[in-house]
A = this chain, B = another copy of it.
Amino acid sequence: MGTTATAAVPEPKYWQLRTVLVRTIDEEFHTGEVLPNERDLAARFGVARATLRQALDQLELEGRLVRRRGIGTLIAAPRMGIPVAEASSRDTWRIVDCGIGAAPAAVAAALGITGDEPAEVHTVRRVRMMAGQAVGTETLFVPAAVMPHVPGFLAESSRARAVLKQFQALPIEGESRAVELGVAEEEQARLLERPPGIPVLVLTTRYAGDAGKTLAVAISTYRADTCKLTFGDAGVEVRAAS
């Protein structure tokens, strides 16, 4: 007997370090201030730089820190509340491109397209801007069968506007959404002006017509470090949990 005791496994160093840093940050730093550099911090806490970085990684994931190569580690501003509008009114989007072609398998499934031959869908990609910076990307998929009357001779940007306009005129009865965690691949990362691999909130929206028929699907990605998705009224201003 004896080894059955709770063993008192100490928490990993990087987690202890994170706890200390959270307190320090909250008490002694303000948004925009610069932390000491990683080598100094590691020395101060008596750990290897890699271990310190593990703690900083956590804090960055939580949106408390921003690290800029060549500059330093800064205290991050509170996350922006991004309204996930039911009926989006005036929004700041920048159209990237627009095309028509076969839907990716996953999207075709969501659209309820079961046919063997790949279904044609209009695809519009755009970037959501907020406070002058790119915070999210969106790819909208509308089956050509739902919206067949987009002139093909238009320039890409005109066609994008035409597709969006017709989309907004669709008899949409309701939306259902899902939010999950992902990482930005090359395409999204480029649009968000960030390196690949940054964490993103992936928002999938299904637009339903009558009888629950899916009229369109949109897949959006938002920078998880700087964004907080809000549903319903204004965002709730809570930061720390429980």
A-side interface residues toward B, CB under 8 Å? Answer: 11, 15, 18, 58, 61-63, 79, 81, 104, 106-107, 109-110, 125, 139, 174-183, 185, 187-188, 196-197, 199, 201-202, 204-206, 208, 212, 217, 219, 221, 224-225, 227-242
Q: Is the CB of B217 within 8 A of A238?
A: yes
Q: Collect the chain B residues with CB atoms within 8 Å of residue A229's CB.
A: 178-180
Q: Is the CB of A238 within 8 A of B224?
A: no
Q: List 25 A-B contacts (CB under 8 A).
A: A61-B182, A62-B182, A62-B183, A79-B180, A81-B178, A106-B237, A107-B238, A109-B238, A110-B236, A139-B242, A174-B233, A176-B231, A176-B234, A177-B236, A179-B229, A181-B199, A181-B201, A182-B241, A205-B236, A206-B233, A206-B236, A208-B233, A212-B233, A221-B241, A231-B231
Q: Is the CB of A178 within 8 A of B241?
A: no
Write the nearest CB–CB distance from A224 to chain B, whole angstroms.
Answer: 4
Q: Is the CB of A176 within 8 A of B139?
A: no
Q: Is the CB of A183 within 8 A of B58?
A: yes
Distance of A50 Cα from B126 Cα, bound (Å): 36
Closest to A241 in B: B219
Q: Collect the chain B residues with CB atoms within 8 Å of residue A242's CB.
A: 104, 125, 139, 187-188, 219
Q: Collect the chain B residues with CB atoms within 8 Å of residue A227's CB.
A: 180
